[in-house]
Amino acid sequence: MHDFLKIEKLSKAYVAAKPVFADVSFTLARGEFVCIIGHSGCGKTTILNVLAGLDTATSGNVFMDGREVSGPSLERGVVFQSHALMPWLTVRRNIAFAVKSRWPEWSASEINGHVEKFVAMVGLNAAIDKKPSQLSGGMKQRVGIARAFAIQPKMLLLDEPFGALDALTRGTIQDELMAIVRETHQTVFMITHDVDESILLADRILLMSNGRETGGGYVPGGIAEMVTNPLPRQRTRAGLHHLPGYYEFRNHIVDFLVTRASAH
């Protein structure tokens, strides 16, 4: 597969002798959905922020579509755990602001038509002219997802976007995200702490270890293992635990987190 995203020997150190992680290298193919999972403090969010151009690595390089990532870009859409909406703007205007930034030459009617298409995609037609204070947590996250997709980025970066939601809302938005990703063939890199969420959504899962002290000295964190999801891609949340191989795959990831990830 063509390496659409290429990460080469990435490291991040706040204290020179004790990097948070080091020698992190992996690739993503165009249209691939990859999750990274690990304990708090292992550097997952730092890696995502480097991919987004919002942070810099101590060493190493990131290339997307043949060009080095060197700062924020509308080619990469980001959805954080907190929705990051502008509270004084309606749903329509929050998304329109991003669309206008992406296509400044578009007319107001072109922008509005584009916004309405993506609001409909996340099922928020009835709330399009409401402000964030009038929306539930799940609805706010839907707006964030619609905004990220509306700029039609080459890559979507998701930092635990459903982490603060209740289980029912989380499951509904997971299903919506899967449907949109399948429709758009979007390339996605996502952080999650939820093992079942990673199994449901990802084509591949990167298992990340924490830095730790050993008898031989300090060992930085990094990608300990990359596992390919063996389950059928057309899987659903309701049917996940009925699929052959599900429990073996899940147990492998849980075993890594419990016995090999070296949480602090």
One-letter amino acid at 127 equals A
Q: Is the pLDDT of residue 31 over 50?
A: yes
For residue range 4-24, list pLDDT tens digits in order: 999 999 999 998 888 999 999
Distance CA 55, CA 102 (A): 22
For position 264, what pLDDT does the model report?
47
Mean pLDDT over each residue of the chain, to the nearest integer: 90
pLDDT at 15: 86
pLDDT band for 235, please (50, 70, 90 cuts): confident
Q: Is 70 exceeded by the pLDDT of residue 147? A: yes
Q: pLDDT at residue 1 above 50?
A: no
CA distance 58 to 72: 17
Query: Is pLDDT above 50 for 42?
Result: yes
- Band (pLDDT 50/70/90 cuts) for residue 248 is very high
Query: What is the pLDDT, as a whole number, of residue 2?
Result: 65
Instruction: Report the range out of 34-43, 72-81, 156-165 with the highest average pLDDT.
Output: 34-43
- Per residue in 49-80, pLDDT (tens digit) is 999 999 999 999 999 998 999 888 889 988 88
Model pLDDT for residues 84-126, shown as the tens digit of each residue: 889 999 999 999 999 999 999 999 999 999 999 999 988 899 9
Tell me the one-letter amino acid at 223: I
CA pair distance 171, 191, nearest whole angstrom: 16
Question: Which of the 8 DSSP states describes residue 259?
Answer: I
How far from 157 is each of 4, 7, 251, CA to CA, in Å? 14, 14, 26
- Is residue 76 within 8 Å of 64, Cβ to Cβ? yes
Is a pLDDT exceeding 50 seen at residue 157? yes
Higher pLDDT, 3 or 206: 206
pLDDT over 80 (residue 165): no
> In this model, does residue 169 exceed pLDDT 90?
no
Q: Spell out the domains of the chain, with CATH numbers in brackets.
A: 3-75+155-260 (3.40.50.300), 84-152 (no CATH)
Confidence grade of residue 135 (pLDDT, cut at 50, 70, 90): very high
The angle subtended at Cα 248 by Cα 166 and Cα 7, nearest 5°, is 75
